[in-house]
Amino acid sequence: MPAIIHVVEGDISTYDGDAVVNAANNHLRLGTGVAGALAKRGGGSIQAECDEFLRQHGPLPVGGAAITGGGNLRARYVIHAAAMGDVPVSPESIRSATRTALELAEEHEDISSIAFPVLGTGVGGFPFSEAARIMVEEIRAFTATDSTLDSVVFFGYTPDQAETLRRYLS
């Protein structure tokens, strides 16, 4: 059965589910925007795990993803989806980071619900509407058959963002 995909308006760091996706850079620095909100609410353990990942593996490829614990978040995991970093955000990096985050979630049997921000649109500067369209297409295609995910939530921080996401889902 395909995952239920829906939209929530608000702060993604408050998500109460299995995993939340961080709009990451490929060096896993939790600075501002979504990453900053997750770091502030989740505590220093998230950045510490990112730093350990970097020591062991080096930077992620742009379009890649890594997983850490959720620290003090309600979500047990943070999946860091790197749509930007050493190269600028592009449609391909958004699509790849979205897909890689979904694949990483499915590798963990205890993840059945996941929340996404729209990747690459804050610091990355990619147009929100275009990024939202790309992500909706990718998530729908990924979850259409044999997905272990039951629920995918898109977070729009503002009413306009949430409405844009709802339009693409309808």
With b for 16 or more beta-carbon neighbours within 10 A and e for fewer, the 8-28 pattern comes to ebeebbebebbbbbbbbbbeb
- Please, what sign has the CA dihedral across residues 78, 29, 26, 84? positive
Question: Which pLDDT belongs to residue 31?
Answer: 87
Choose the CATH number for 4-169 among 3.40.50.2000, 3.40.50.2300, 3.40.630.10, 3.40.220.10: 3.40.220.10
> What is the full per-residue pLDDT of the chain (170 aa) written as tens digits?
678 999 999 999 999 999 999 999 999 999 888 999 999 999 999 999 999 999 999 999 999 999 999 999 999 999 999 999 989 999 999 999 999 999 999 999 999 999 999 999 988 899 999 999 999 999 999 998 778 999 999 999 999 999 999 999 98
In the chain, where the domains are located: 4-169
- How many Å separate Cα 12 from the centre of its chain? 10
pTM: 0.95
Q: Please report the pLDDT score of residue 1 as a whole number.
A: 67
Task: Write out the DSSP string of 92-119.
Answer: HHHHHHHHHHHHHHHHSTT--EEEE--T
The confidence score (pLDDT) of residue 122 equals 87
**What local confidence, expressed as pLDDT, does residue 27 receive?**
95
